[in-house]
Amino acid sequence: MAKFEKVLYGDFDAILKKIEGGVLDGSISASLEESSDFANGEARCSVRVFERYSYAGGNRVSLSVTLFKNGDSPIHVSAITSGGSQALFFKMNTWGEETFLEKFKEIL
């Protein structure tokens, strides 16, 4: 697993759209597997789970992205990759996860 967190300022919907488009346009095998959106008062939370084939690792990896904003506060972004490991009891060959996360960082 690899994780990246960042605080952003700007329009919540525009940033979410940029992330979705950037991930899906960034790889021919990328897909949006599921999404979820919550709002409570001034708080908003959006979750997106993407998946793509990793040529480097020879397997599929996922990227879960969460955006959270409360009122006028900044937007908190958390991105976590998973999958891609080929060992039974310990992580081995995590190239695909790291590459997927690096591509995500370029979008922001």
Give tens-digit pLDDT for 24-59: 998 888 999 999 999 999 999 999 999 988 766 667
What confidence tens digit (pLDDT) does each residue in 70-83 have? 999 999 999 999 87
Architecture of domain 2-107: 2-Layer Sandwich (3.30)
Alpha carbon separation from 24 to 2, 9, 27 (Å, rounded): 19, 23, 6
Tokens 């040529």: give the residue: 55
Token pair recorded at residue 93: 């060959």
Average of per-residue pLDDT across 63-71: 97
What's the rounded Cα separation, in Å, for the pair 30 and 94?
18
Q: Which helix (H) or strand (E) holds 15?
A: helix 12-25
